Amino acid sequence: MASATARPRRSTSTASWPTTSTASASKSTKSPSNTTASSTAKSASTETCPFPSGPRNVIESYAEQHGTTDGYLLRHPKDSGRAFQPYLFQNQWQRLRRGGELDIPEGMVIYSLRHFFASNCLTHNIPITDVAEWMGHNNIDITFKIYRHLMPGSVGTAAKLLDAGLAA
């Protein structure tokens, strides 16, 4: 029985996101399976990954309230008929950092959030095969080479699990 102080589990759904970081804009559509399919101007491939319901609800509410332009959720701030360009995120990030409005460590860039996601998944024992797929890596070796340091005890852990399974 769960204690009265236990935190409720957050529900998650899945969302599909572009597999390239160089895309000019992300185009998103809702599918019947409660996932969001995305494609980009430079790449039509998508990847599905877990997505917490809180942020997902905010995004869906924003889309319902403000609509989309040709399927694009974010639009250029000076021309709503144009897609939002990724460099605008970087410009705003730099402004916030320089202005001291956010405590952003020196050298941290928006792309760091991608690494945070992958690292967080792996440190919470999500299989590297899933993480590699969500990151859009064509080969698991790419993911392994980048994030192997997060799994130093994986061989020892596997041996203990196998021993426990054999003992049962």
Q: Which residues contact 86 (CB under 8 A, 6 or more apart)?
A: 21, 22, 23, 24, 25
Q: Which two tokens stand for residue 11?
A: 């529900």
pLDDT at position 38 is 43
Per-residue confidence band for 118, with pLDDT thresholds at 50, 70 and 90: very high
For 13, the enclosing helix (H) or strand (E) is strand 12-18
Decide: helix, strand or coil at residue 48: strand
Spatial CB neighbours of 123, under 8 Å, sequence gap ≥ 6: 150
10-24, 55-69, 76-90, 145-159: least confidently modelled range: 10-24
**Burial profile 136-159: b = 16 or more Cβ within 10 angstroms, e = fewer:** bbeeeeebeeebeeeeeeeeeeee
- Specify the pTM: 0.58
Q: How does pLDDT run across 70-108, given as a tens digit for each residue?
A: 777 888 888 878 888 888 888 888 888 888 888 888 888
- Burial readout 54-72 (b: 16 or more C-beta within 10 A, e: otherwise): eebeeeeeeeeeeeebeeb
The per-residue pLDDT for 19 is 35
Give the integer Cα–Cα distance in Å for 126 and 131.
7
* pLDDT confidence of residue 7: 32
Contacting residues for 119 by C-beta, under 8 A, at least 6 apart: 147, 150
pLDDT digits (tens, 9 = 90+) for 1-40: 333 333 333 344 445 444 333 333 344 444 434 444 444 3
Report yes or no: 123 and 147 within 8 Å, Cβ to Cβ. no
